[in-house]
Structure 1
C-alpha cells in the first residue's frame, strides 16, 4: 500500500510520467547520468501510478452502486 497525501487525488495521473520524461530528456541532453537515472525512476513511478489509476477507475466503474445499495433490491421483495 502506498501512502499519499490528500492533495495527490487532485493531481492528474499523467503528471509523474510527464515529469519523468522532462528529467530524462534534460539529463540526456546535458549528458549527466544523475538526472537521467532520476528521470527514469520518476518515469517508471509515473507509469505505475497511471496504470494503478486506470485499474482503480475500472474497478469503481464495474462495482455496484455504493451510495444506495438498497436500490438494487427495490421491487424484488
Structure 2
C-alpha cells in the first residue's frame, strides 16, 4: 500500500463458489469466500486513500484440474 498512488486499483480473483458453494468443493469454496471478505474489508480500509479494491469472479474455465480430480468424474462430459 505505501506504493499505491491515489487512483490505484487492487484486483482480486474470487468465484461464484464464494456465494453459492458446491458440496463437492468444500476446500475451494471457503477459500474463495475468504478472498471475497478480504476484498470487502480492504476496500473499506483504503477507500480514504483513493485506492479501489475490486474482485472478479470468472465463470468456469476448463483446465487439466477438472479431469484429474477437480470435478467428480460423473460431472465431466
Range into which the TM-score falls when normalised by the shorter chain: 0.3 to 0.5
Q: Which of the pair has more CA radius of gyration?
A: 1
Which has a greater percent of helix? 1
Question: Structure 2-normalised TM-score?
Answer: 0.42
Q: Which structure carries more relative contact order (alpha carbon 8 Å, separation 6+)?
A: 2
